[in-house]
Amino acid sequence: MIDNELITKKKTRSNDEEPNSEEEEINMQNNQLNRKHLQKQKKTNYRLIEPYRSLGIVIDDNKVVYYKRAHDRFLLCSNNNSFLLYNLEHLRLERISPPLPSTIKALAMYKNKIFTGVENKVLLWDKIHIVKEYVSEDDEEIVYLHTFDKLLLALDSKGTLFIWDIFSAELLKSLDLNIESFIHPSTYLNKILFTKKRQRYEEELGIKSSKIYLYNINTEKQIFEYDFEIDGIVTCIEQSPVVDVVGVGFSSGDIILFNLRTFKKILRFKADTRVDHISFSNCVELNLSLLATSTTNGHINVWDLNKNTLHYTIHAFSNISSLVFLPNEPIL
């Protein structure tokens, strides 16, 4: 009788009791995070409107994230308050997350894990389960995410950069640099290349800053700043397949290829209107060095870097929210 009672007590152990193992504790924490963030969906007899079904392919204006795992290629995007993971083989939907109470403003991937920026938090997903959250010190929305090494970098709408350890979720530091956008140049350890938000007095005086800054987030020191002296602000920066070379787009329609090590302009192109996105092709099959740029008038210009000329133009006739050349493939 005593043994049976003990077994019964173990089976009916309440949720308030301490977990018996580390694995149980992790599962309890995951369940708490899911209950905190995920909306409860009403059950319905119509399978068509369940979260893992979709009609058409609809995404929002967030920049998509390309990711490759083994032989599979994925595209991570969002639709208001859910993220969608597409397999690029026939653009098949692999995964869709349960809806969050708030809109997703930023996306990133680290190995097989997905990060979403929601309000002033970053949520880490394992498949469709929230396993960790990173909370910023401010109430501003997280608008951009980036991962490198073992760090998670998050930019909020005020221009503050938050840096977390991905595994421990410890906030390592926050840097008030007034950042508009940034990239981490490949091979540049602990460094970011960024543009600053325009100050109010600059807008009132009509001053247009075309500067970029290279900054060491570890030592918290600025390495250099460079002014392109262009009548337009920097709108986008993109790493090229060549080390030290980046592409910089401007509101004036200018596109400049710039060497970070020698501080020299390599090539310059001119589009009709503001440049919103830049992407480089590194496909050997094409036997061409191509640069694609999208503009506010809905055009995609593809430039030949070898001949320094416009290769061709794609008329999309709508705003482009993302522009990505797939690595080592002749696909845009």
Which pLDDT does position 59 carry in this prediction?
85
> Highest mean pLDDT range out of 55-69, 210-224, 318-332?
210-224
Contact 34, 130 (CB under 8 A): yes
Q: Evaluate if pTM is beyond 0.85.
A: no
Model confidence pLDDT, tens digit, residues 23-67: 777 777 777 777 777 755 555 555 555 555 556 667 888 999 998
DSSP state for residue 276 in the 8-state scheme: E
* Cα separation of the two ends of the chain: 71
| Alpha-carbon gap, residue 278 to 16, rounded angstroms | 53
pLDDT of 174 > 70? The answer is: yes
| Alpha-carbon gap, residue 276 to 264, rounded angstroms | 23
Model confidence pLDDT, tens digit, residues 221-238: 999 999 998 888 899 999
Model confidence pLDDT, tens digit, residues 229-264: 888 889 999 999 999 999 999 999 999 999 999 999
Strands (DSSP E) contained in 70-210 are 72-79, 82-87, 92-96, 104-110, 113-118, 121-126, 129-135, 142-148, 151-156, 160-165, 171-176, 179-183, 191-196
Contacts of residue 245, defined as CB under 8 A and 6 or more positions apart, other chains included, come to 257, 258, 259, 260, 266
Model confidence pLDDT, tens digit, residues 181-199: 999 999 999 999 999 987 6
Contact 282, 328 (CB under 8 A): yes
